[in-house]
Amino acid sequence: MCFMAFLRIFSLMLSVVAILACGGNAQLSPDFYASTCPNLQRIVSDAMREAIDQELRVAASVLRLFFHDCFVNGCDGSLLLDDTATFTGEKSAFPNRNSVRGFEVIDRIKSRVECECNGTVSCADILALAARDGVALHESCTQMGGPTWAVPLGRRDARTASDCAANAQLPSPTATLPTLISMFAAKGLSSRDMVALSGAHTIGFAQCSNFRARIYNETNINPIFAANRRGACPPSGGDTNLAAMDLQTPNRFDNNYYTNLLTRGGLLYSDQELFNNGRLDWLVKVYSSRAASFRRDFAAAMVKMGNINPLVGTDGEIRKNCRLVN
């Protein structure tokens, strides 16, 4: 009898260990703030609608913020932190410097959330919701079909950030396909996730310095497309000049990004690597012809990316100001 009781206790202990080993992802839930901040999603959605009405590009900017935050040590709001005397943050990293934007939008949302639910909602969760709403609200603002998804919530905010980590972990616009596959796999994301998430470039913009070499030096590019892009990107100078990654429908969240790749119209080297006589050509073809498949896989991949190493429980903090540690 005592031995059976011991077995039951031992089995219970193993179950607890197994739950803890699963990490914080299991603790995230779309209903996390249902009782503590019931109007959260409306507040974020309303603020994002106002921001997009003022500047349509905000949707792409906030979406990129979320991607760059999650890819550096997890979705913990660390990208939002300003540099301090004790650390140089991710904003100063080479992939982000003078490039990432949309911080003021997150600040405004955080301020409104704090007025409603003081010290309750993390900046990391606000960023996750704002990224989703930017895509979904793009639909109503441009009369097209942006996907939506339920956002698991319950993340907490990091107390530090690292420019070195951002430099090492963010994919380069000149990355090869094997490198991209490896970097996404390191975050628990499959090749399918990677191709689906790359579809966010359908509303994205790139700076001239990131695609100059491609439009002037590469051969795996549509010559008409390259000539068109050279108009806004001279051989020297104009490094920060912007070009839409989807020339056909830059303000619509659709699957034309993939259609462009089929005709060698990827703006970045890393874009065209997805369709370059490689192992993922078939998936680019699928997404180019089946918008519903892209929408479904993009939404699923966004949820999966949002689960990268979140801080939960008592880890981290709930920042009062997204730019500063409490």
Query: What is the phi/psi pair of residue 155, to 5°?
Result: -70, 155
Element (H, E) at 206: strand 205-207
Instruction: Retrieve residue 253's tokens.
Output: 């969240």
For residues 47 and 34, give the distance between their C-alpha atoms in angstroms, rounded to a whole number: 19
Cα angle 264, 268, 271 (rounded to 5 degrees) comes to 65
Residue ranges of the chain with pLDDT lower than 70? 1-26, 138-145
Give the residue numbers marked as catalytic: 68
Longest dimension (CA), the chain: 83
| Structure confidence by residue, pLDDT tens digits, 267-292 | 999 999 999 999 999 999 999 999 99
Q: Which residues are annotated as a binding site?
A: 69, 72, 74, 76, 78, 90, 171, 201-202, 246, 249, 254
Q: Which two tokens stand for residue 240?
A: 């920060």
Write the CB contacts of 269 (distance below 8 Å, at least 6 apart in sequence): 173, 174, 175, 211, 213, 214, 218
User: What pLDDT sits at residue 196?
Assistant: 98
Q: Are 68 and 100 in contact (CB under 8 A)?
A: yes
* Residue environment code for 8-21, b if the CB has 16+ CB neighbours within 10 A, otherwise e: eeeeeeeeeeeeee
Per-residue pLDDT, 248: 86
Q: Which residues are annotated as a binding site for heme b?
A: 201
Binding region for substrate = 171
Global pTM? Answer: 0.90
pLDDT at residue 137, as a whole number:
85
